[in-house]
Structure 1
């Protein structure tokens, strides 16, 4: 292999690495903004926007159980759980590939469950998958933290 080919190969390698990093950063920003919108839609009880965001096979894991998309949308629409405010303290994003992203939020959630207003600290895991060019929330898991912020 000659020097020109080696230099060209290294140049292509570094440029493709920079492109992948830039693409990953853009996906991180996009998913972070989408998660932020999701929290607002939940606070606003905007079940129609959430129904579009949620994957048809999505699972929702709460302190009270696990269920699918239809039940989650119905609970939000009816006010069975009202996610009044998610105070987001920290966001971490991991891009697994161009079609799968995991986001973690450390939050303090103010919610109304039934007729009781409750505040709990959670680490929330959100898994997003890209389907037909659109991001869909495939999993939303609330893990209660033992400490308060």
Structure 2
């Protein structure tokens, strides 16, 4: 009987610790994503270079490329992500991978044109050496604006 109660107590404490860790991870990823949008708006390419995984891919309406090209695009203003209005955030954590979906309205300057576009943005983060790195950023244009 004592072993059963002790076992149950250990299971309950483990589950509570696991839920606390998941909650902490969810909040950490949401904050990281929010910071990323601000760094993009501020053209803070140095902070983004630290966040982006070396093998990261970026999928836009105009093509797909890697980390170096995305940093160059941001640094030189080829795309200026002026403001992302975030309407909805969904997040799943699977082991050392976090997948975040943002439904946004993005105000951006592309070339010399200012455009406002509704997107569902998928962000994939991987945890390496205790740090979360953005491994994929995919923009999917939505048909309606919110």
TM-score using structure 2 length: 0.97
Aligned length: 146
Per the alignment, residue 74 of structure 2 pairs with 76
Q: List structure 1 segments (4+ residues) > 4 angstroms apart after TM superposition.
A: none
Look up the match of 2:107: 110
Partner of residue 56, structure 2: 58
Structure 1: runs of 5 or more not aligned? none
> Which residue of structure 2 lines up, in the alignment, with residue 46 of structure 1?
44
- RMSD, matched Cα: 0.8
Q: TM-score, normalised by structure 1?
A: 0.95
Deviation at 1:136, TM superposition (A): 0.6
Residue from 119, 125, 133 that aligns with 1:136? 133
Partners of 1:122 and 1:102 lie apart in 2 by 16
Q: Distance in 2 between matches of 1:117 and 1:93?
A: 30
Give the Cα separation in 2 of the matches to 1:8 and 1:124. Answer: 46
Structure 1 match to 2:92: 94
